[in-house]
Amino acid sequence: MHAILQGIQPTIKGWTAFRRDLHQHPELGFEEHRTSRLVADKLREFGYSVHQGLAKTGVVATLKAGDGKKVLGLRADIDALPMVENSGKSWASQTDGKFHGCGHDGHTTILLCAAEYLARHRNFNGTLHLIFQPAEELLYGGRVMLEDGLLEKFPCDALFGLHNMPGMPVGTFHFRKQAMMASCDTVHITVFGTGGHGAIPEKTVDATLVACQIAVALQTIVSRNVTPFAQAVITVGSIQSGEAPNIINEKAVMKLSVRSLDPQVRQLLLKRIDEVARLQAESFNAVAKVEHINGCPVLINDDAQTEFAISVARELVDESQICTDAPALMGSEDFAFMLEANPNGAYLMVGNGPGPMVHNPGYDFNDEIILPAAAYWCLLTERYLQ
Ligand SMILES: [Zn+2]
Ligand SMILES: [Zn+2]
C-alpha cells in the first residue's frame, strides 16, 4: 500500500461522517452557505489562507511550502440538485426536494481530506490553491468564479478536477485526452403568429403549428449539416403553447438542449438553429426570436497534463485500476470554463462502483472512494510541485 494511502487511512472514518453530514444538508447552486462555511472552517483549522466570496459561496484556500515557483489548482464542486432522494440511506437528505444526487458532497470531502494530509506533511515545493466551486449543476458556477477574478487573484500553472462515476469499479481511475465532456447550450425559441378562433384558421398564423415545423426541421441539422464523424445532439425538451382546443395560439415557446464534443460543431449547431428557426417561421408568415440562454464549453483535456495525471495514478494503484482511454460523455461539466481559461489541465473520473447513475433518486456517493481519490490529489500535488 502506498505511503500516502497509509497516511490518510486513519482519517477516513471522520471524513466519512463529514461526507454524510453534507449529504444530510444539501444546498442548491449559489446557496451553499452552510457547506461553504464548513469547508472554510476546516481549511483554516488546517492552516490554509482562506478566501471566501468568489461566486458568492465559493472558497479558495492556499497553502505554500518551500520556495518553489510552480502553482497548482485543484477544484471540487459543492452544490446539490433540486430533486427528491429515495436512496433509503440513514444519512439521506433532511431537506425535501434537495439532494446530493451527483456526489458533490463526496468531491468536497475528498479535497478536504487531501487538504488535511497535505497541510500535515507539506511534502511539496510551491503553491497549492484548492478551489471549492458552487453551482456546477447550473453549469455556470465555474464561469462566475472566473468572472469574479479566480485566475487573476489565484493564477495557476495547471488545473485538475475529478468526478465520481457509477458503473465503473470502485476506486478505478479513468482518463481521456482531448474532448471528454460535451458542451451544453440552452436555447429558447419564441414563435410569434396571429391568434384567432380554432374554426377560422385562414385568419390566423398558428404559432403552435410553426413551432412543430421548427422542431422537425431542427432534427435535420445533426443528420444533414454535421459530419457523421462528430457527436452532436439537439433536443427539443419543451414546447409550450395554449390551453384550449378551440383557440389558435399567437405564441409558442420552445426550449432546447444542444450538445457536442467539438467547439466548431458547437458553433455550427448554434448558427443553424438560428437560421432554421427564423427562416422556417418566415415561410409561414410568423416570426421566431432565438435566444441563447446559457452555454458551457466542451471540456478539453490537455494531452501532456493527462499523461502526467496517468503517471500519478500508475504510482498509486495497479495498472488494472487505470483506464487511459475512457469514452467521452455527452453530459457536461462546468470545470470546462476553467480549462477554457487555462487549457493546461485535465479532468478525470473515479469509479463509484455498481448502483444507480448520478441524478437518479436512488444514487449515493460511495464513501470507499474517499481514500484512493484523496490520496490521488495528494500524490498529484507532491509530483506537480516537486
Ligand atoms: Zn450532476
Ligand atoms: Zn456532478
User: pLDDT-based confidence at 186, cuts 50/70/90?
Assistant: very high
- Taking the CA of 138 as reference, the closest ligand is 1
Q: Which residues contact 271 (CB under 8 A, 6 or more apart)?
A: none
C-alpha cell at 347: 479532468
Which pLDDT value is given to residue 264?
97
Residues whose CB falls within 8 Å of the CB of residue 320, separated by 6 or more in sequence, listed in order: none
- The rounded mean pLDDT for the chain is 98
CA of 358 to the centre of ligand 2 (A): 7
pLDDT in tens, 90-124: 999 999 999 999 999 999 999 999 999 999 999 99
Give 156's DSSP letter: -
CB 270 within 8 Å of CB 225: no
* pLDDT computed for residue 108 by the predictor: 98
Cα(103) to ligand 2 centroid in Å equals: 6
State the distance from the centre of ligand 1 to the C-alpha of 334, rounded, in angstroms.
10
Strand partners, 299: 181
- Dist. CA 328 → ligand 2 center (Å): 15
Distance 251 CA to ligand 1 centre (A): 33
Element (H, E) at 372: helix 370-384
DSSP 81: B
CA of 26 to the centre of ligand 2 (A): 13
Beta carbons of 210 and 282 less than 8 angstroms apart: no
pLDDT in tens, 348-378: 999 999 999 999 999 999 999 999 999 999 9
Per-residue buried b or exposed e for 154-168, using 16+ beta carbons within 10 Å of the residue's own CB? bebbbbbbbbbbbeb
Q: What is the pLDDT of residues 16-29, one digit of tens each?
A: 999 999 999 999 99
Measure 165 CA to ligand 1 centroid, in angstroms: 11
CA of 139 to the centre of ligand 2 (A): 10
- CA 248 – ligand 2 centroid, Å: 42
On whether the CB atoms of residues 370 and 10 are closer than 8 A, the answer is: no
